Amino acid sequence: MSRLHRHQIPTLQTNLTPLIDLSFLLVIFFVLVARVGEVNTAGIQLPSTVNGASIPDEAPTPLVLNLMAPTADTGAVIVLNDSRYSLTAASIQSLTDELTAALAARPMAEINIRADRRSTYGDVRPVIEAAVRAAELAHLPAARIRLVATRAQAGSV
Amino acid sequence: MVLAVVSLIDVVFLLLLYFLCTAKFGTSEEVFPLEIPAAASAEGSNPAAAPPLVVRVTDAAQGWLRIDGDWPQPRNEQELLTVLQDLRTGDSSMLAIDHSILIAPHPHAAWGNVVSTYNAVVRAGFTNIGFESSL
């Protein structure tokens, strides 16, 4: 018996427990990131500019107004945080009120307008007007609006 | 012989997590800053100022750009950039860098075309840009 033990080949053992732990952590991370990305960019095709003169978005926490293009079933939809608005006068008034409250709390906040490139200026204009009106109601000198676009590779668009 | 791979895996995954957290996901978004005075009277019309150059964005599929006045008419944003650069820095050099440029989009104009127009005006070097409306 002792001879058998003496000649036994040493085995390579790998402890897989931490690997599995971290793998599951990565899975959870990717699930969370994927859902956040979906909420922020759902259905919006941003305008893209070749050789764009746009600048990087460096505002830490801007107020983000998402404007989704109208579909066959619904009109254009504006999304601010978790609230959804349409382009009716009453809905735009509600949007203005929420923007006013947000600007009163954070007067230096920038307003990012992420409008779908397939929407029309007639859809975007009420959103810009609501932002300007909200700045006025919050007693700010100007509305700090920023039009969001993507920078396309030359020749791709 | 037992290889101590556990610590190696730990460190590798920590590095992986670090790079995942610092990486930017999705397409890179950029912005065009646009500051609009809140009160309409804040920057009231100055009678001494030169009239603004109005660039119209129409809803036509082709030739959707038009400049008010007797200027060369661009057919797209590339030609608009050429025309504006010539107006600002060309031999004639008729417009100053802070000359007011008003973009006047048709309500049915595609937002993508409006942003392309804005981009061309910024690239031409003009600094005083606004939208023609009741804003």
Q: Note the pLDDT of residue A154.
A: 54
Average pLDDT for A35-53 = 70
Task: Report yes or no on B70 lying in a domain.
Answer: yes
* Residue B60 belongs to domain spanning: 53-131
Task: Report yes or no on B36 lying in a domain.
Answer: no
- For residue A50 the two structure tokens come to 């070749």
Task: Report yes or no on B107 lying in a domain.
Answer: yes
Q: Note the pLDDT of residue A40.
A: 56
CA A140 to mean position of chain CA atoms: 26
CA distance B47 to chain A (A): 22
pLDDT band at B135 (very low <50, low <70, confident <90, very high): very low
* Domains of chain B: total: 1
Task: Report yes or no on B20 lying in a domain.
Answer: no
B55 close to B102: Cβ distance less than 8 angstroms: yes
Q: Give contacts of A49 with chain B, Cβ < 8 Å.
A: 115-116, 119
Q: Note the pLDDT of residue A82.
A: 80
Of A25, A117, A148, the CB nearest to B31: A148
Q: Note the pLDDT of residue A135.
A: 92
pLDDT band at B133 (very low <50, low <70, confident <90, very high): low
Q: Quick check: ipTM above 0.90?
A: no
**Amino acid at the residue B60:** A
Residue A64: burial class (beta carbons within 10 Å; 0-12, 13-18, 19+): middle
In tens, the pLDDT along B92-127 reads 667 888 888 889 999 999 998 999 999 999 988 888
Percent of chain B past pLDDT 70, that is, above it, reads: 82
Q: Which residues contact A88 (CB under 8 A, 6 or more apart)?
A: none
CB contact under 8 A, B29 and A148: yes
Over 60: is that where the pLDDT of A1 sits? Answer: no
CA distance B38 to A85: 22
Q: Give contacts of B8 with chain A, Cβ < 8 Å.
A: none
Question: Which residue, among B41, B101, B111, B115, would best test binding to A if mutated, counting the most A CBs under 10 Å from its CB?
Answer: B111
Over 70: is that where the pLDDT of B42 sits? Answer: no
Average pLDDT for A62-89 = 86
Q: Note the pLDDT of residue B86.
A: 85
Over 50: is that where the pLDDT of B41 sits? Answer: no
In tens, the pLDDT along A104-130 reads 999 888 999 999 988 999 999 999 999
Q: Give contacts of A141 with chain B, Cβ < 8 Å.
A: 37-38, 42
CA distance B126 to chain A (A): 11
Q: Note the pLDDT of residue A31.
A: 77
- Phi-psi category of A118—alpha, beta or left, where left has phi over 0 and alpha has psi -120 to 50? alpha
A110: nearest CA partner in chain B: B33
Three-state SS letters, chain A? CHHHHHCCCCCCCCCCHHHHHHHHHHHHHHHHHHHHHHHHHCCCCCCEEECCCCEECCCCCCEEEEEECCCCCCCCEEEECCEEECCCHHHHHHHHHHHHHHHHHCCCCCEEEEECCCCEHHHHHHHHHHHHHHHHHCCCCEEEEEEEEEEECCCCC
A125 close to B107: Cβ distance less than 8 angstroms: yes
B30: nearest CA partner in chain A: A56
Q: Note the pLDDT of residue A93.
A: 93
Task: Report yes or no on B12 lying in a domain.
Answer: no
Of B29, B42, B110, the CB nearest to A117: B110
Q: Note the pLDDT of residue B22.
A: 78
Q: Note the pLDDT of residue A156.
A: 43
Please tell me if residue B23 touches chain A, with a CB cutoff of 8 Å.
no
Q: What is the CATH number of the domain that holds B62?
A: 3.30.420.270
pLDDT band at A72 (very low <50, low <70, confident <90, very high): confident
CA distance A110 to chain B (A): 9
CA distance A139 to A122: 26
